[in-house]
Amino acid sequence: MSLPQKKVDVQTILLYIPNQIGYLRIITAIISFLCMPRYPVPTVVFYGISSILDAFDGYAARKFNQGTRFGAVLDMVTDRCATSSLIVYLAVLYPQFTFVWQVLVSLDLASHYIHMYAMLSAGSTSHKNVEASQSKLLNLYYTNRKVLFAVCALNELFYVAIYLRYYGFFYLGTIMAVLSTPIWIFKQIANVIQLQSASLILARLDVDEHNKKRSQ
């Protein structure tokens, strides 16, 4: 005879293991922001911890069956805020490229927000449930965990490399930048495709809704 399961409430969801990992990611990211102006090594360490933990919250969600909408949104928002904050600081260090930084932040935020909204509006339980018919590249990116981790990690490595070059780690930063540039370019292409694909999903949903209203 199985015992009745404990009722889940809001506090339970907020304290799920993957969500606790998410909170730790936020804390380490904020510490890295505080260190950015003067302490490049601690900055990279704490920023790196925040980025690496991104792989563990998803693992914990699957292992303990604790996947939630809140956790999925927390994960994406943390990713976007961390990357955007680093790029914002690069605009401070390299003001001559401010327009480039602005475009990169805008593309990153817009493509991910519209993608998540489109997937949820279409009835998907996760923004990572991308079918190959929608986009083979996005399907590979979101459904293959090794590809997803490698692309995200090397994309962050590119920005970290640019940051380190400014603080005297010229050769290390240059090597890191050169190695990560191809994947960084791939990530920007994926963002553009993601933005286009999500926009088409929303437009098709609008078409269906308008046609349904007219047929009534």
Catalytic residue among 54, 57, 79, 108: 79
User: How many Cα neighbours within 13 Å face the side chain of 99?
Assistant: 1
Which residue matches tokens 């990153």? 108
Q: Quick one: which H or E segment has residue 200?
A: helix 170-215
Calpha distance 39→66 (Å, rounded): 36
In the structure encoding, which two tokens stand for residue 79, read together?
Answer: 């990713």
Calpha distance 19→191 (Å, rounded): 25
The answer to whether residues 177 and 170 touch, using CB atoms and an 8 Å cutoff, is no
Whether 9 is catalytic: no
Of 157, 205, 209, nearest to 183 by C-alpha is 157
Task: List residues with catalytic annotation.
Answer: 79
